[in-house]
Chains A and B, each alone.
Chain A
């Protein structure tokens, strides 16, 4: 049995979600992994999208955050102000499941610009719901492909706050959620060091080396003393992932 690095990433990310949790889902990689988790070990996972769909159970993957399939299969559909003000803001949501164009050593996320704001090298889509998802969920899990361009020492723009510049920043700023607890990539898993809040490598996917991770990380990434090796995808995980289709594709 063989699998791609992307498949391993989606499966590792799906495994990070627990049955019964409420998960605020970003589009793209997070949405794919969250829907995989719901088909595998977490049938009671409550999926919430910023379009206002609560407890949605799509039988295909949505292309956008507000596809009709999300509304059709939702327990409740609420307005955009309501989803942010009543559901996200008070801290009701367990996990914020996000991605980004850049993430830095403290788990700050950039989806706004590469380069300076006023004259960017690349203009990215912007914030969407992510700043408040990153602030208010009890914890944040980030899913991103591991490349040198994406894993940077310091993001060009803080769209969504991770741990700021260190372990006390979130507390000082009065944020209630714990912030990023895991960054799951196609190479492995990084977690914030409990003392420094800096992301350290805590797991490698099968067949990946520490050197590969170092080569794709823009800071001298530390390796955990208890470095784990991610369990290989099971046949069920792979077949379920491969059977998932995106609407209209």
Chain B
């Protein structure tokens, strides 16, 4: 059963130095507030897993939380590069960053394997690309029925997965809708899952296409209105595209980033 607790308590209890942590949300429902809380609590040496490490991981990397990044696309969507990630990779600032790089299809299937309790997943992928030369978690496997050679990717099982959702009920059952991304798989693949929600309601009225995460697969639920901003929460608020553009200038320079970071650390979640 999920405990409904304030976010600082959920992070403090379930996110530890050295953990493998996945914050998921594919453009939509990105758990920014949780990432910021991890920054405030100064977690270190995390292996950060995420298909699209965009602003939230740029911030966490710049803040020194990460030792390793497992990902498939690292950019500021529609805007450009992640300058803090680039700085960590090229100059080791503020800490060296190791990477493990996949394609989206590979990462999605790694979560599927993790959620399914399997050691690996099979897909038609990576063929003819240079990625397998650099990524140990890609291999090939022969189909026992047809003899066909296919790509195999090892399962992802984060210590903690954190996602954001529209709402939970008082028992901690969670409902999310709109673009569902890979959140269900990332939650079910993890040892512990934390969900931040826009609100708690008495009854989870069914919504077409909604994903429901039962309370008994979650460790904690925290109520954080606006917790996905500047990404968006379908039906609650829109993506703040201007903020994504502004991040480019803030993150380009260590000084402006550090000023941003100090301001964030001074704010309470």
Residues of A within 8 A of B (CB): 27-28, 50-53, 62-68, 70-71, 77-81, 84-85, 88-89, 112, 117, 120, 123-132, 135-136, 157-161, 164, 169-170, 173-175, 246-249
Contact = CB atoms under 8 A, between A and B. Distances in A.
Interface of A (DSSP majority class) = loop
B14 to A, nearest CB: 24
Contacts of A131: 103, 105, 125-126, 129, 131
Given A52-B181, A68-B234, A129-B105, A135 B125 contact: yes
Contact of B234 (A27, A71, A160): A71
Nearest to B238: A68
Contacts of B242: 248
Contacts of A127: 72-73, 101-104, 129, 131
Interface of B: 26-28, 51-52, 71-75, 77-79, 81, 85-86, 89-90, 101-105, 108-109, 111-112, 123-131, 133-134, 148-149, 178-182, 184-185, 209, 211, 232, 234, 238-242, 244
Nearest to B244: A63
B78 A27 contact: yes
Given A80-B182, A123-B85, A128-B104, 16 more contacts: A53-B179, A62-B78, A63-B241, A79-B184, A84-B105, A85-B105, A89-B123, A117-B134, A120-B90, A126-B72, A126-B75, A129-B103, A157-B130, A158-B130, A161-B128, A174-B127
A115 to B, nearest CB: 11
B128 A68 contact: no
Closest 8 CB pairs of A and B: A66-B27, A248-B241, A64-B77, A125-B75, A161-B128, A63-B78, A128-B73, A84-B105
B130 A67 contact: no
14 contacts: A65-B26, A65-B77, A80-B181, A89-B123, A89-B124, A117-B133, A124-B81, A127-B101, A127-B103, A131-B105, A132-B105, A135-B128, A158-B129, A158-B130
